[in-house]
Amino acid sequence: MTLRMIQVGLGMHGFGVAKAFVAQSPDFKFAGVAEINPDRLNACAEELGVAAANRYTDYNEAFRSCEADAVFVTAASPYHYAICKAALEQGLHVLVEKPFVVDMAEACELVDLAERQGRVLMVSQNYRYINAVRSLKAAIAEAGKPMFADVQFCYDHFGKDYQQTMPNFMLLEMAVHHIDMVRFLFDANIRNVSGHTWNVEGSMYSGHPNVQARMELENGMPVFYLGSLVSKGLATPWEGEWRIQCEHGSVHLADLGQGYGVYVVDAEQNRRFVPYHEGPLPSGKESIHGVLAEFAASIAGGKAPSTSGRDNLQTLATLFAIGDSSSKGAVVAPASYIATR
Ligand SMILES: NC(=O)c1ccc[n+]([C@@H]2O[C@H](COP(=O)([O-])OP(=O)(O)OC[C@H]3O[C@@H](n4cnc5c(N)ncnc54)[C@H](O)[C@@H]3O)[C@@H](O)[C@H]2O)c1
């Protein structure tokens, strides 16, 4: 059965996702689109082939008047909470871009609301659906016990208006991918964090664009993270550069000479390389294709998606814990942020 989707927010990422993923999905068709900027709405809807009657500047009106099954929230991050809440109250299933929301109490409230309404609430943590990330996970599983991980991400980003004023900017907009990857790669939540965030002189951001954190997984394994969105010079790929030290050798997501991908180096210095796109996912299931397929399967079969709102509370809590650790100068436990029924 093809599910009817309303997509809310057709900005740079939202429109790209609509064209390259939602419009191509075998599981969804557009019931409507909502975008607060009317010129943008009409230009994007025209290209997507969405009829004038199904275009809305007010998402509440779209939820009330469109015959739909689900909503994909791709509006700017500070509006995610209000849009998700309205959609769930209307009885719609919800897929929301990362970051889920920008406040922990609101995240917990939405998880409870979705469960009360019996609706799927999923967060699009699309990096889990990248072949290189799947191959990295498989390589770690074969390299013996993981002992520590070291992750770096650096980029010089020109922030959107909403990003320039967003508290915890780097953590919520970018580190959210890497911290969620940590949880996925090691099948573990993060027990405590010690972090530091900071700004630079002349920065366009009021929320800190730099973060450094030491995280401890539930099994005690340490993860060291450095992320920056104000780093001129050599940029790392979006997924970052990773070294996972394992008992029998090291596993890397990096470019160690053959291009960016997964490298496994054993104790005798033998190297194995897995190119970026090689992995278990066929191209039609990579990235947001995979997210949409899992969302549809969950709506159809009832099994909670792997990146459900409830699962994402752990990722989000870790981000807030790092921010608070920085301001308080203390070690903080992410679990202390999660208060659902
Ligand atoms: N998963 C990824 O890899 C990835 C990449 C980029 C962005 N994102 C996320 O996608 C979201 C959108 O990012 P973007 O780059 O498109 O931002 P953007 O600023 O380019 O676009 C945001 C859009 O939301 C619209 N909007 C704001 N309030 C609205 C409302 N009440 N109703 C309808 N539309 C509204 C704006 O008019 C704008 O067109 C953000 O949450 C961002 O973090 C995810």
The binding-site residues of ligand 1, defined as CB within 6 angstroms of any ligand atom, are 8-14, 34-37, 40, 59, 74-77, 79, 97-98, 124, 126, 160, 173
Same domain, 185 and 322: yes
Same domain, 146 and 93: no
Collapsed DSSP state (helix, strand, coil) of residue 313: helix
Is 309 among the domain residues?
Answer: no
Q: Is the pLDDT of residue 302 over 80?
A: no
Report which of 159, 171, 241, 165 is spatially closest to residue 212, judged by C-alpha positions.
Answer: 171
pLDDT, averaged across the chain: 97
What is the model's pLDDT at position 163?
97
pTM of the model: 0.98
Sheet of 241-246: strands edge to edge? 190-198, 210-217, 222-228, 146-154, 241-246, 249-255, 260-266, 271-275
Q: Is the pLDDT of residue 16 over 80?
A: yes
Full domain range(s) for residue 164? 128-282+318-328
What is the model's pLDDT at position 54?
98
**CATH number of the domain to which 52 belongs:** 3.40.50.720
Cβ neighbours for 200, distance < 8 A, ≥ 6 positions apart: 209, 210, 230
Same domain, 198 and 295: no
CA of 15 to the centre of ligand 1 (A): 9
State which H helix or E strand residue 106 sits in: helix 104-117
Q: Is the pLDDT of residue 241 over 80?
A: yes
Same domain, 269 and 295: no
Q: What is the position in ligand 1's atom list of the atom closest to the CA of 160?
A: 19
Residue nearest to atom 3 of ligand 1 (CA): 126
Please report which confidence band the pLDDT of residue 340 belongs to, taking 50, 70 and 90 as the band edges. confident
